Structure formats: C-alpha cells, structure tokens
C-alpha cells in the first residue's frame, strides 16, 4: 500500500458548506472565494490558514478535480482572475 505524504485541504467557510452538499455545486458557484492546498509541511499549512476563515481536509481525487477546474477556468481563489486595465500597467500617478 502506497502512503501519500500530502494532506489536501479546501479553504473557505462558505465553500466548505457547499462542498459538503456537492463538489459539482462548488464548481459551478461563481461568487464564492475559496482555495485549495496540498501540504506536507505544517509551517506552510499554518501560513495559508491565516488567509482563510475555515479549512477542511479533502481527498486527493477531489483536490485534483478542483485544481483542474481552477486551471481550466483560470480561477484564483475560486474567482475569475482580475483583468488589469491598460492604464493600471503604468501605476498610479
């Protein structure tokens, strides 16, 4: 039996509530901020926990499904990436 050294985590209180109902429902939700993480280092896990209001351990299969969903839809923290306006490229003057 292969032992996986990683712990897979879903972050975000509202996302956890939705995930407990259905992973599919979480993936189609458009306005919930959430994140996932893959950890083997407690220090890095604790640092990430400081950004979020809650967390829950998930299995590797669901982690991979959510990660694939993030990449396919270009999501950051479960939300679409913000598009930068051209004038923001030059900074605030």
CA distances from 51 to 34, 89, 90 (A): 10, 27, 29
| Chain segment 20-72, per-residue pLDDT in tens | 999 999 999 888 999 999 999 999 999 999 999 999 999 999 999 999 998 88
Q: What was the pLDDT predicted at 76?
A: 78
Q: What is the pTM of this model?
A: 0.79
The residues spanned by each domain of the chain are: 7-90
Q: Are 7 and 14 in contact (CB under 8 A)?
A: no
Would you tell me how many other CB atoms lie within 10 Å of the CB of residue 12? 23
| Chain segment 67-90, per-residue pLDDT in tens | 999 888 887 777 665 544 444 444
């Amino acid at each position: 039996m292969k032992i996986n050294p990683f712990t897979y985590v879903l972050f975000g209180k509202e996302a956890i509530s939705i995930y407990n109902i259905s992973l599919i429902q979480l993936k189609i939700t458009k306005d919930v901020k959430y994140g996932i993480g893959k950890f083997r280092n407690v220090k890095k896990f604790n640092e990430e926990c400081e950004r979020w209001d809650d967390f829950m351990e998930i299995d590797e299969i669901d982690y991979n499904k959510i990660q694939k969903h993030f990449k396919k839809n270009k999501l950051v923290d479960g939300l679409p990436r913000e598009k930068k306006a051209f004038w923001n490229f030059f900074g605030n003057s």
